[in-house]
Amino acid sequence: MNIFQPGDGMELPLGNKSGLPNSVLIAEDDPIFRRILESWLQKWNFQVTAVENGLDAWKALQQENAPRLAILDWMMPGLDGIELCRKIRNQAQGAYKYLLLLTARGSKEDVVAGLEAGADDYLTKPFDANELRARVRAGKRILELQGELVKAHNELQFEAAHDHLTGLWNRGAIMDLLHRENQRSTRIGEPLGVIMADLDHFKQINDSYGHQTGDAVLREVAQRLLESVRNYDYVGRYGGEEFLTVLTACTASNLAITAERMRVYVSEKPVETGTGPIPVTISIGLAAHAGGPDLAREEELVRSADTALYTAKANGGNRVEHSPENLSTDPVPSGALR
Amino acid sequence: MNPMVFGGVQCSRSTSSDLQPASCANCSGQAIWEKAEALKRLGGDEDLLRELCQIFLEESPRHLQKLREAIADADAQATMRAAHNLKGELGYLGAAGATQAAQELEDMGRQQTLSRAAEVFIFLERELASLHIALRNSDGASV
């Protein structure tokens, strides 16, 4: 399992996924020009979709993985190039489309009208291969730049929501996710579970082996926690050596089973570090909400799990305790689960 | 057949640099179509040119028919559109005389002055007929 958990609405929907980088749409009613464009672009290794009118072009651009580079003839039956440009630009969502308008008119007014309608560039007929190639290259360059921007934006968003050391959700993000899932489970009446886990005697590890080793232990424990849950559960670093896991559609008994699995999986093998193997254990506090009509406050859930964690620590650590407060109508197995 | 018309396109089997424009009776010194020029624009792709000639032979009668009807109906807008379409294709093939005639008709349509349109149309029709023969006889199309 990958420790990074992108997705979950924390990314922009654009990215490199949408639109094959080397695909192009041609909308041209004249069969001769359509064939010329198709032939040249194929020769330059483009994947070409060719249509005869504006309406078909519009439909083709609505498809998933639609080309992001479009060559549109100005004069077409139905929806002409200018109208098509406007329609595409009025569509707010989706990846940016680079629009190259094809015209047999050369007047300044026409060019201005085309650019104002949303075309990125224009090409006057009859054009030759070199000119087309240069303009298409310019378009590709813009799309690539835009792709890099979106990628940088996504990376920044990822960094803003993730803990740098462990790659888990950071405190702000895991609390946002808890809020979102809490609202959702209340609305649809699904149970929700919260697991607060804390590394036992972490200060001693840091003091004895140094912070670098301490960091390596945190990274490995984070990885083990992730591997103990379902891939749609959320694991976050809540504080220094404290981890908060949010489990959706999880009954109190399943929550207890998962927590016990986490405890065993973390302590089963010592963590291999540069300074040798280090045995680690965690203490866990649980809180569950049965879902439906009463909304439990997420702060309350976290506080309950924290209180249970404190009890687990007080009872010697390396154990699971559930919240004493009744946040759930689903019976939680009583007592320590160790 | 008038050998003058085919002076240029007959030698299409030779290299393109040898090609001389064919001249016709209607426009002194002007070629029916500049095969060398068209080929150059297509980056020397003979196969593509042959394919385009084929498309033109199939498509242009339809455009011409539309233009004829538009002029007969005194429909300036339709005249402009049909002439515009023809102009684009003719221009690409380097058919200078026919392109010029189509351009004139397009302008007449745009300016809504179709008084001389029938006259220009007859000229265009004749140029197109010559072009069809030239294309069929050249290597540019095999019919």
The overall average pLDDT reported for chain A is 86
Residue A241 designated active-site: yes
Q: CA nearest A262: which of A337, A202, A327, A205? A: A337
pLDDT tens by residue, A33-75: 999 999 999 999 999 999 999 999 999 999 888 999 999 998 8
Distance from CA of B116 to the nearest CA of A (A): 23
Give the residue carrying structure tokens 């009859």. A126
Residue B81 lies in a domain: yes
Q: Is residue B97 part of a domain?
A: yes
Report residue A62 CA to chain centroid gap.
Answer: 22
Q: Is residue B118 part of a domain?
A: yes
> Which residues touch A302 (CB under 8 Å, ≥6 apart)?
A175, A178, A194, A196, A244, A287
Could you tell me if residue B4 is inside a domain? no
In a domain, B1, yes or no: no
Domain annotation covers residue B60:
yes
Give me the residue spans of the domains in chain A.
Answer: 23-159, 171-322
Name the CATH architecture for the domain at A171-322: 2-Layer Sandwich (3.30)
CB atoms within 10 A of CB A23: 17
**Tell me, what CATH number does B39's domain have?**
1.20.120.160
CA distance A281 to A115: 65
Token pair, residue A196, equals 């607060």
Catalytic residue among A241, A242, A298, A299: A241
Q: Which residues of B touch A104 (CB under 8 A)?
A: 84, 87-88, 91
Q: What is the DSSP letter of A14?
A: -
> In this structure, are residues B104 and B120 in contact, taking their beta carbons and an 8 Å threshold?
yes
Interface of A with B (CB under 8 A): 29-33, 35-36, 39-40, 75, 104, 125-126, 128-129
Give the per-residue SS3 of A35-94.
HHHHHHHHHCCCEEEEECCHHHHHHHHHCCCCCCEEEEECCCCCCCHHHHHHHHHHCCCC
Both structure tokens of B78: 């339709």
The tens place of each residue's pLDDT in chain A, 338 residues long, gives: 333 444 444 433 333 444 556 899 999 998 999 999 999 999 999 999 999 999 999 999 998 889 999 999 988 888 889 999 999 999 877 788 999 998 876 667 788 889 999 999 999 887 888 899 999 999 999 999 988 998 999 999 999 999 999 999 999 999 999 999 988 888 888 899 999 999 999 999 999 999 999 999 999 999 999 999 998 999 999 999 999 999 998 888 899 999 999 999 999 999 999 889 999 999 999 998 877 666 668 888 999 999 999 999 999 999 999 886 545 444 444 444 44
Within 8 A by CB and 6+ apart from A169, the residues are A5, A161, A162, A163, A177, A234, A235, A236, A237
Contact A54, A81 (CB under 8 A): yes
Which amino acid is it at A83? E
Query: Which site among A32, A42, A107, A132 would you substitute to test the B interface, given the most B Cβ atoms closer than 10 Å to its Cβ?
Result: A32
CATH number of A23-159: 3.40.50.2300
Domain range spanning residue B131? 9-137
Tell me the whole-structure pTM to 2 decimals.
Answer: 0.64
